Amino acid sequence: MLIVTFGAVVTATLATVLWLGTPSSYSKHPPVASVNPEPAEIAQETVASESPAIIEEPVVTAPQPIVAERTVRSGDTLMALLVKTGVARTEAHDAITALTKVYDPRDIRPGLQLTVTRHAPAAEAVPLLQHLDLLVDPIRRVSVRRDNAGTFKAEAIDKPLTTRASRAAGEIQSSLYVAGTRAGLPANTLARMIRIFSYDVDFQRDVQPGDSFDIMFERMHDDAGTPVAEGEILIAEMVLSGKKIRMYRHEADDGTVDYFDAKGRSSRKALTLTPIDGARISSGYGRRKHPILGYTKMHRGTDFAAPSGTPVYAAGNGTIEKAGRNGSYGRYIRIRHSGNYKTAYAHLRGYAKGIKSGRRVSQGQVIGYVGTSGRSTGPHLHYEILRGNKQINPKKLNLPSGRTLMGKELAQFNAMRNTLEDRYATLPTTTQMAKDDLQPASGPR
Ligand SMILES: [Zn+2]
DSSP 250-288: EE-TTS-EEEE-TTSBBS-BSS-S--B-GGGPPPSSS--
Q: What pLDDT is stored for residue 114 in this prediction? A: 93
CA distance 244 to 113: 46
CB atoms within 10 A of CB 435: 9
What's residue 57's pLDDT? 60
How far, in Å, CA of 127 to CA of 121, rounded? 7
CA of 102 to the centre of ligand 1 (A): 49
Q: Are β-strands 152-158 and 140-146 bridged in parallel, bridged antiparallel, or unpaired?
A: antiparallel
CA–CA distance from 43 to each of 38, 58, 59, 426 (Å)?
14, 8, 6, 65
Give first-to-last CA distance, the chain, whole Å: 26
pLDDT of residue 54: 58
Q: What CA–CA distances, in Å, run from 325 to 293, 387, 389?
A: 22, 22, 18
For residue 180, the CA-to-ligand 1 centroid distance in Å is: 28
Q: Is residue 346 part of a domain?
A: yes
Q: Give 202-251 pLDDT, tens digit per residue.
A: 988 888 889 999 999 999 888 888 888 888 999 999 999 999 999 999 99
Q: Is residue 418 part of a domain?
A: no
Distance 348 CA to ligand 1 centre (A): 12
Q: Within a domain: residue 35?
A: no
Instruction: Give the pLDDT score at 60.
Output: 61
Last residue within a domain, chosen from 360, 384, 399: 399
Separation of alpha carbons 346 and 331, rounded Å: 6
* pLDDT on residue 1: 44
Q: How far is the CA of 299 from the centre of ligand 1 (A)?
A: 6
Give the pLDDT means over successive 10-residue stretches in the chain (445 positions). Answer: 41 35 36 40 42 57 84 92 92 95 91 91 85 87 91 90 90 86 88 91 89 92 84 94 94 89 92 88 58 80 92 95 96 94 97 96 95 92 93 83 88 95 80 37 35
Nearest by Cα to 369 from 355, 386, 359, 358: 355
Question: How remote is the CA of residue 359 from the centroid of ligand 1, in Å?
Answer: 25
How many whole angstroms from its chain centre is CA 251? Answer: 21
Structural domain ending residue among the three candidates 130, 158, 186: 158
Rounded to whole angstroms, how far apart are CA atoms 307 and 350? 13
Taking a C-beta distance cutoff of 8 angstroms, is the pair 335, 300 a contact? no
Q: How far is the CA of 294 from the centre of ligand 1 (A)?
A: 8
Q: Give me the number of domains the chain comprises.
A: 2
Number of other residues whose CB lies within 10 A of the CB of residue 38: 11
| Non-local CB neighbours of 387 within 8 Å, separated by 6+ positions | 340, 341, 342
188 domain residue, yes or no = no
CA distance 358 to 335: 9
Q: Angle at CA 274, nearest 5°, toward 271 and 278?
A: 145
| CA–CA dist 36, 373 (Å, integer) | 61
Q: How far is CA 104 from CA 114, 340, 425, 440, in A?
A: 15, 46, 44, 43
- Residue 156 three-state SS: strand
Residue 374 Cα to ligand 1 midpoint, Å, equals: 11
3-state SS class at 128: strand
Q: If you measure from the C-alpha of residue 376 to the centroid of ligand 1, how many angstroms do you get, rounded to a whole number?
A: 8
Q: How far is the CA of 327 from the centre of ligand 1 (A)?
A: 14
User: Residue 150 Cα, ligand 1 centroid: separation in angstroms?
Assistant: 66
Specify the pLDDT at position 186.
87
Question: Ligand 1 centroid vs 177 CA: distance in angstroms?
Answer: 23
Contact 434, 182 (CB under 8 A): yes
Residue 154 lies in a domain: yes
Sheet holding 243-251, edge to edge: 257-260, 243-251, 227-240, 212-221, 162-171, 2-6, 430-432
Cα(400) to centroid of ligand 1, in Å?
Answer: 26
- Point out which residues pair with 44 in neighbouring strands: none
- Ligand 1 centroid – CA 293 distance (Å): 6
Q: How much distance in Å is there from the Cα of 367 to the middle of ligand 1?
A: 18
Find the 386 Cα to ligand 1 centroid distance in Å. 14
220 CA from centroid of ligand 1 (Å): 41
| Cα 56 to ligand 1 centre (Å) | 90
Residue 382 CA, ligand 1 centroid: distance in Å: 4
CA of 78 to the centre of ligand 1 (A): 48
* Pair 273, 347: CB distance under 8 Å: no
The C-alpha torsion from 299 through 443 and 311 to 260, rounded to 10°, is -90
Instruction: Compute the distance from residue 381 Cα to the ligand 1 centre, in Å.
Output: 7
Q: Would 297 be classed as within a structural domain?
A: yes
Domain that holds residue 71: 61-158
CA-CA distances (angstroms) from residue 18 to 86, 93, 155, 157, 190? 34, 29, 19, 15, 17
Q: What is the CATH number of the domain that holds 125?
A: 3.10.450.350
| CA-atom Rg of the chain in angstroms | 29
Distance 53 CA to ligand 1 centre (A): 98
Would 51 be classed as within a structural domain?
A: no
> What CATH number is associated with residue 357?
2.70.70.10
For residue 20, how far is its CA from the centre of ligand 1 (angstroms)?
Answer: 33
- Domain boundary among the residues 158, 184, 216 is at 158
What is the Å distance from ligand 1's center to 253 Cα?
A: 42
- Residue 299 domain-assigned (yes or no): yes
- 291 CA to centre of ligand 1 in angstroms: 9
